[in-house]
Structure 1
Amino acid sequence: MPWAANPSLMSTPTAATTTSQPASNPEAGLSQSATSSQGLPEGFRPPRMYATADTSKSPIRLWRFPYTLAGDGGLSIPIQCTITWWLEVWLVNRHLRRGRLQAIGFMPEPKTRFFRWFMFLNDRPVRNHERRGSRMMHWLLFASSHFARALIVSAVAFTVVWAPSVGVLMLVSLNGGERKLPPGCEHDWCYKKKWAPQIFKSVKGSVLGILTTPLFVIFWLVRCGWALKKNEAHYGER
């Protein structure tokens, strides 16, 4: 046959086969697809959330680690309360000094010792020589007094928000048939990757913010009103 004597035609199938071999490597194709699907800059790890958890080894459970919704919800309450407290300390006082807010002046001062301490109404005022002491010590005392009050609010919020949220999580857990599928769910409440954990954290954080943010704002507006009546130069200390 005339085309069989042409070496260029005979070498064409061999070359095509040789060039197509790297593309047929399944491991190379898998690594390329994984890299392109993530699209992360060099050095960054993929975001860690419940949706990316390896539930085949560690299912998402209510009490047991490493993915514990009860522990996650309990730990986030003091963190959120402390951050909200400090934000309102700065924002409310900033707006008060600029005249954008008006202090509340009709509230009577509390009489009990605990609430007077909690509202920075110490009977003994901070003396000038104490204020002029070590600057670092002054700020340590200032920060510790505010952290203490934020943690007290966190303890109250823990009973108000955390306990009902755990009860709701018990109701929306996997049923009897589904609990047999993930390992380690025989003696605990388990959940799928979506959407119970995400909705739980969003609703809990929103409810906690709605409860604490207005209270913190009112706290500082009332405390500033008492300070203005007494002509106090400093308040919110100790």
Structure 2
Amino acid sequence: MPWVSTPIAATTTSQSAISDPETSRPQSLPEGFRPSSERFTLHQIFYIFVVGGLGSAVVSGAINFTIAYGMYATADTSKSPIRLWQFPYTLAGDGGLSIPIQCTITWWLEVWLVNRHLRRGRVQAIGFMPEPKTRFFRWFMFLNDRPVRDHERGGGKMMHWLLFAGSHFARALIVSAVAFTVVWAPSVAVLMFVSLKGDEKKGTPGCEHDWCYKRKWAPQIFKSVKGSVLGILTTPLIVLFWLVRCGWALRNNEAHYGER
């Protein structure tokens, strides 16, 4: 695909590069790309952690706050209060479902954004990371031992798009699963701590066997903070993923990368 492909002609790879891909270098950089860095630069650190991490935290927090306000601030809680576990207004369920949704959206945004910046020379690829050896991590990093064949890339295009989308969704779900184990349980513990207490809880119908919350502001703050934490944890890793993967593509003279 154009945003995750380098226009280097793989047919120009020398025999020594084929036998030792770890030490190979492209004969010439593709148009727009900058040389891969041999160490972390200040600009890369700023791009990964400030632009990627803090930027994602601010945007994700604002979006999640807005969504939570629309969901809970005007909810009819006379019969169904906002509770931790029970439907229809379950904060634990909301928190669990929003993690894979946010991770998947973040993955696709960074697929487009980081590779766009790489192609335009706004950031350097990372060129000093060694390639993983284990089969799973090679698959996860799009380091396929068998190259994508022409008929898989061309043809009617539909199958290629389906394989492309499926491969990226699979990796986004893996990121989501890891993020879920890190973020969800602590967020539930915090919700238990900030729930209604004492007479305030006793006076709210439907809260006898669950943790309950007012329509404002606990649900909105919870969803906003969780979205910000998730953004600052996952986005830098996804940005780093593509900077490293592009560095390997430039080093190995790959014509395409990030396809399956």
Q: Which TM-score band (shorter chain)?
A: 0.7 to 0.9
Q: Which residue identity is paired with 2:79?
A: K
**1:21-56, Cα deviation, whole Å (9 max, x unpaired):** xxxxxxxxxxxxxxxxxxxxxxxxxx8321111111
Among candidates 125, 140, 148, match of residue 126 of structure 1: 148
Q: Does the alignment pair 1:61 with 2:106?
A: no
Moved beyond 4 Å, runs of 4+: none
- Matched residues, percent identical? 89
Measured on the aligned residues, the alpha-carbon RMSD in Å equals: 1.0
Q: 1:212 corresponds to which residue? A: 234
Stretch moving more, 90-99 or 171-180:
171-180
Measure, in 2, the Cα distance between the counterparts of 1:157 and 1:201. 15
Can you give the 5+ residue segments of structure 1 that lack an aligned partner in the other structure? 1-46
Contact map agreement 1:131 1:138 (CA 8 A) in 2: yes
Question: Offset of 1:133 from its aligned partner?
Answer: 2.3
What is the correspondence of 1:133-152 to structure 2 with a 5 Å cutoff? 133-152=155-174
**1:109-130, Cα deviation, whole Å (9 max, x unpaired):** 1111111100000111111232
Q: Which residue identity is paired with 1:153?
A: V
Question: Offset of 1:212 from its aligned partner?
Answer: 1.0
Measure, in 2, the Cα distance between the counterparts of 1:112 and 1:190. 47
Q: 1:43 corresponds to which residue? A: none
Can you give the 5+ residue segments of structure 2 that lack an aligned partner in the other structure? 1-68
Q: Which has the larger radius of gyration?
A: 1
**1:143-191, Cα deviation, whole Å (9 max, x unpaired):** 0100000011000100111110000000111113222112111111001
**1:37-84, Cα deviation, whole Å (9 max, x unpaired):** xxxxxxxxxx83211111111100000001000011111111110111
TM-score relative to the length of structure 1: 0.79
SS in 1 for 2:246: helix
Q: Does the alignment pair 1:86 with 2:108?
A: yes
- Size of the aligned set, in residue pairs, is 192
